[in-house]
Amino acid sequence: MIMQDNEKKPALRFKGFTDPWEQRKLGDAFERVVRKNTNNESRLPLTISAQDGLVDQITYFNNRVASRDVSNYYLVYNGEFAYNKSTSDGYPFGAVKRLDWYEKGVLSTLYIVFALKHPEKDDSDFMTVFYDTDRWHRGVAERAAEGARNHGLLNISADDFFDIDTTMPEDKAEQEKIGRLLKKLDTLITLHQRKYEKLVNIKKSMLDKMFPKNGASVPEIRFKGFTDPWEQRKLGDAFERVVRKNTNNESRLPLTISAQDGLVDQITYFNNRVASRDVSNYYLVYNGEFAYNKSTSDGYPFGAVKRLDWYEKGVLSTLYIVFALKHPEKDDSDFMTVFYDTDRWHRGVAERAAEGARNHGLLNISADDFFDIDTTMPEDKAEQEKIGRLLKKLDTLITLHQRKLEKLQNIKKSCLEKMFV
């Protein structure tokens, strides 16, 4: 590939292609499809998924949103495109996706459906990845009435949509090379996404089955050789509170809790410093100690507890509850880490936090009440260690696939930015 420096040429392109790209209307490349499902040729209602394109609505929503009578819907064939004018996260001007997974399906007439006008001249894969770029957004922004919405949809007509100016390679061979490269990247991204999701689901199932349900004293599945009931204990029996202050500025590393990575450097995580410059009154936290963030977030309705793994030490706001194992000879730290990935301690928080009470977005639970929560744990440290090791290995695999996924997504993002005008 070679770099370019020209307004009508991408910054990065395949060797052998030097001609400027041509400016065209979307309507020069596509023709609208308004074919109705009059004879009920298909009864498969479709919707747009940012991840998977045009997909079965029932599977995606686990529900049927379309009406039972779909005879007045558009009938869409494999290889045709649809524009969903609804804005969503990552799609501020709606999304265009191609029907790849099914031979045919039906779509609400709120969508704009279209097909390649000249497949002998234009490459369908190129057009698919073109719509992953933001190069057509300006045209929508210029034509959609500012701020106008109709049932949450951008107010842009089909005629205005096809009147949008775009810049594309005139040479189909260049389109094909770009399309093939980025579709291969999409395949790799999907592969790692599926592996990641599968591992996350395996962990979720294990957390559910390897810890006793509320009211039970033994888990549904456990390692061979362990039969004794788990013992009921207060959190305060296993942990002791840490209130050590950073008086001598032993650390200047401000920490925050990431659901994915645990206790992490605040500056790297937020790309900004949220902590005050003077952190001498913050808690000083050492590697292996835990912290409870009382802020609720997606997937963490009762806050999150994480262990400091990535740094030797750091500092935390006194809004956190910091604690350490009281008896490391009796209890396993990895087990405690994965215990806090379960929901088995949530009921205790719910019972003690004043219903609906918040203080600056934090659950209203005191440290004393937190440590008074009842839990059920194995008395045998060997059982704790086996559970902890297994689930921490799973965490390592999950993190590995997530990192690979993020790397591939960043490569694709860079390619989309540099390979299009």
Query: Which tens digits make up the pLDDT trace of 324-365?
Result: 999 999 999 999 999 999 999 998 898 888 644 555 567 889
Domain final position from 168, 186, 203 = 168
Is 60 exceeded by the pLDDT of residue 2? Answer: no
| Structural domain range at position 418 | 170-219+381-421
Condensed to tens digits (0 to 9), the pLDDT of residues 74-126 reads: 999 999 999 999 888 788 899 999 999 999 999 999 999 999 999 999 999 99
Same domain as 244, residue 137: no
Establish if 295 belongs to a structural domain: yes
Same domain as 320, residue 259: yes
Same domain as 359, residue 283: yes
Mean per-residue pLDDT, 415-420:
95
Is 80 exceeded by the pLDDT of residue 1? Answer: no
Nearest CA to 329 out of 224, 218, 238 is that of: 238
Same domain as 392, residue 365: no
For residue 245, which amino acid is it? K
- Helix, strand, or coil (residue 15): coil
Same domain as 405, residue 309: no
Concatenating the DSSP letter of every residue in 49-96 gives ETTTEEEEHHHHHTS--S-S--TTSEEEETT-EEEE-B-BTTBBTBEE
Same domain as 164, residue 33: yes
Establish if 1 belongs to a structural domain: no
Same domain as 114, residue 179: no
What's the CATH code of the domain at 334?
Answer: 3.90.220.20
Establish if 5 belongs to a structural domain: no
Establish if 145 belongs to a structural domain: yes
Same domain as 295, residue 239: yes
CB under 8 Å to 198, separation ≥6 — which residues? none
Establish if 12 belongs to a structural domain: no
- Structural domain count of the chain: 3
What's the CATH code of the domain at 191?
Answer: 1.10.287.1120
Tokens of 398: 């999950």
Condensed to tens digits (0 to 9), the pLDDT of residues 141-167 reads: 888 864 455 555 788 999 999 999 999
Establish if 202 belongs to a structural domain: yes
Same domain as 372, residue 237: yes
Same domain as 189, residue 164: no
Same domain as 243, residue 184: no
Establish if 43 belongs to a structural domain: yes
From CA 168, how far away is CA 164, in angstroms rounded? Answer: 13
Same domain as 390, residue 284: no
Establish if 199 belongs to a structural domain: yes
